[in-house]
Structure 1
């Protein structure tokens, strides 16, 4: 099949980007002709990477770099916000790419900045479409700040968003939580559109995972547990609550907490952790360095304070032999309950957070989690995800 994946970014720096990249490369391995349209560049670039044809485009009316800055000029911000939804430049790029690729199916992912009009363009050409819900931008395109202007603009745009989404043939989400959220708010109609959960995936070797776990089984935890956080350094990720809970564990001087990532709240985090020598910030890491960090840790902490559409870092941890402590937000509990490779806690309670971390410190071994991970982690193999999507494409 000829498949065109559409996502604002095409790299591996975030969850949605990783998921899109892994799927594209797996589909190529299976013999499909895969192209990608993204807007993550300052000038047009066509390139081929791992068999995937990538069309990177810029838009004259939308500055992708500006929109993610922490400090913004209010009027510029309003200007760019408008073009996140209505971007004629992105639509023209899309039509040119369609002429070149002539896809059998278009798979939309994160669309902020790419214009909702591209969905209608696909419909007008009779091309079948799949949309995967990887964020909440469709619900709050004007932003999430709770003020009169933002709330008013989101309400004003809602009918236009829903009209564009009515042209999508198949809707998927990586978690039942996210899919049900949008169906309940009537962004999709499950009686007229195919709506299915297709979990995000990771690439791993079962044989290698067993080797990693066998090595970890031999470790006797003597109150020296090594906790790890990997993700964006943002308050909504629960990182400051994690630091607060960790500091409460002062009775355990040999435990450590390593933090990997980058984000807008990094300087505030550095100031927060400088008084505790057990906490270290390791910077942003990518493979293979990140895999080595996963394997040297004991427990991965996923303390998100917002409703994660999925929480792929949890399966990254499990697939590297790490039990996971996950918050009760969004799709995270679904992962932990599926793999039984960790514990879920209530992020609204610091005392509960402290208790679940203490549980892992005082456990002599994590065999119960290791056994479960080995039995269940194949649910999230990239081959299984690809198989599910191909079946949907063929519908």
Structure 2
């Protein structure tokens, strides 16, 4: 098959987990012998290159700033950017030109912001089978995270957001042939807003490389880990507050990541020498944090989809304590590969941490559960499921 993946970002330009997922999918599809083309945005010049057997087009649809600059732009600029990005005629022309030249058997759209919703229309205009993966809530929230300006879950969108979402729905609904999401929660959330009611939806968990064996861990010091963005909606302050209330000396909280709220979190942690900020890490450096940790905490207070940090942690035999919110409970089985707690409840998190610190034997049981539970999330299973979906659509087309 010749497969085209459309993703607003692609390594080395990384703002979140979705672009890393797309890279792994692209390269693993290529390993299986498929011809893979990626269309993404460029930070600099427009280029066409081949990276690890994947042909990558990096283009620059016209807007007031580039996608990679979005997080650092002033709030008054963002509505302008989003308005242009509803339906970008130049993006339409760029995508149409590349798709006509490459003539793929199937197109798979991932995060589309930066290409606008014209990406969906151009694929259907060319009568190509279309798969869409919902990595977040972009179709029902301008911020993509269903949080309001105060950082709380938005239950009642403003009039402006409601109009914006209605336009999006009209532009995208019924365009994909199949909609995929890593969690059932996201699929249900989109459907609850009236999207994709008559379209096949499939939960396809993320894929990850599986380790052959678990590292031996040390229980003299209990190492607690957080990996992710240092942003308030990730609940890092909940974790820090819970940790600071623990009176044990043989514990360390390792915080790995970067983000807009880093200074705020460091102020909350100030005075507790057991809390260490390590900055942003990738590759083997990041994996070593997972391997050495006794427990990983995912304290999100937003509707997290299916965090890659959970997959990565379980892969390394490290159990996870996660918020009972969004798609997180679909990955954590209470008492088997980790524990769940009420999102935002620092007191409940503190009690769970206290329990595992005092019972290293329980940690060992959880580690075995972590390794067993991650087996079904292998990259091989993920790629095979995608190929099955692609082939069925091509056959039906």
- TM-score, normalised relative to structure 1: 0.91
Q: Does 1:11 align with 2:11?
A: yes
Structure 1 residue 371: deviation in Å?
2.4
Separation in structure 1 between the aligned mates of residue 162 and residue 280 of structure 2, nearest angstrom: 37
Q: Does 1:68 align with 2:53?
A: no
- Asked if the contact 1:233/1:265 (under 8 Å) is kept, the reply is yes
Question: What does 1:216-255 correspond to in 2, within 5 Å?
Answer: 216=217, 219=218, 221-222=219-220, 224-249=221-246, 251-255=247-251
Residue 271 of structure 2 aligns to a residue whose secondary structure is: coil
1:188-208 Cα offsets, whole Å, 9 max, x none, are 11xx31111000111133x2x
Residue 132 of structure 2 aligns to a residue whose secondary structure is: strand
Which of 3, 19, 22 is residue 20 of structure 1 equivalent to?
22
Residue 336 of structure 1 aligns to a residue whose secondary structure is: coil
- The corresponding residue for 1:271 is 267
Structure 1 residue 77: deviation in Å?
2.7
Q: For the structure 1 residues 134 and 33, does the alpha-carbon distance in structure 2 shift closer, same or farther, using more than 3 Å as the test?
A: same
Question: What does 1:272-311 correspond to in 2, within 5 Å?
Answer: 272-311=268-307
Which of 199, 203, 223 is residue 205 of structure 2 equivalent to?
199
1:32-60 Cα offsets, whole Å, 9 max, x none, are 11111111423212111111111111122
> Where in structure 1 do 4 or more consecutive aligned residues deviate above 3 Å?
142-147
Structure 1 residue 158: deviation in Å?
2.8
336-345 or 43-52, larger mean C-alpha shift: 336-345
- The corresponding residue for 1:324 is 320
Residue 141 of structure 2 aligns to a residue whose secondary structure is: coil
Q: For the structure 1 residues 142 and 359, does the alpha-carbon distance in structure 2 shift closer, same or farther, using more than 3 Å as the test?
A: closer
CA RMSD of aligned residues (A): 2.0
Residue 337 of structure 1 aligns to a residue whose secondary structure is: coil
Separation in structure 1 between the aligned mates of residue 284 and residue 387 of structure 2, nearest angstrom: 29
Separation in structure 2 between the aligned mates of residue 242 and residue 132 of structure 1, nearest angstrom: 30
Question: What does 1:46-57 correspond to in 2, within 5 Å?
Answer: 46-57=48-59
Q: For the structure 1 residues 103 and 25, does the alpha-carbon distance in structure 2 shift closer, same or farther, using more than 3 Å as the test?
A: same
Q: For the structure 1 residues 6 and 288, does the alpha-carbon distance in structure 2 shift closer, same or farther, using more than 3 Å as the test?
A: same
Structure 1 residue 339: deviation in Å?
10
Structure 1 residue 341: deviation in Å?
1.2
1:320-376 Cα offsets, whole Å, 9 max, x none, are 121111111111111112993111111232210100111111112223212223323
Separation in structure 2 between the aligned mates of residue 292 and residue 10 of structure 1, nearest angstrom: 24
Residue 301 of structure 1 aligns to a residue whose secondary structure is: strand
Separation in structure 1 between the aligned mates of residue 334 and residue 57 of structure 2, nearest angstrom: 36
Q: For the structure 1 residues 89 and 154, does the alpha-carbon distance in structure 2 shift closer, same or farther, using more than 3 Å as the test?
A: same
Which of 385, 390, 394 is residue 387 of structure 2 equivalent to?
390
Separation in structure 1 between the aligned mates of residue 177 and residue 19 of structure 2, nearest angstrom: 23
Which consecutive residues of structure 1, in runs of 5 or more, have no partner in the other structure? none
Q: For the structure 1 residues 290 and 85, does the alpha-carbon distance in structure 2 shift closer, same or farther, using more than 3 Å as the test?
A: same
Which of 42, 45, 58 is residue 43 of structure 1 equivalent to?
45
Count of aligned residue pairs for this structure pair: 380
Q: For the structure 1 residues 40 and 269, does the alpha-carbon distance in structure 2 shift closer, same or farther, using more than 3 Å as the test?
A: farther
- The corresponding residue for 1:158 is 165
- Asked if the contact 1:85/1:141 (under 8 Å) is kept, the reply is no
Q: For the structure 1 residues 98 and 185, does the alpha-carbon distance in structure 2 shift closer, same or farther, using more than 3 Å as the test?
A: same
Q: For the structure 1 residues 66 and 375, does the alpha-carbon distance in structure 2 shift closer, same or farther, using more than 3 Å as the test?
A: closer
Question: What does 1:347-358 correspond to in 2, within 5 Å?
Answer: 347-358=343-354
- TM-score, normalised relative to structure 2: 0.91
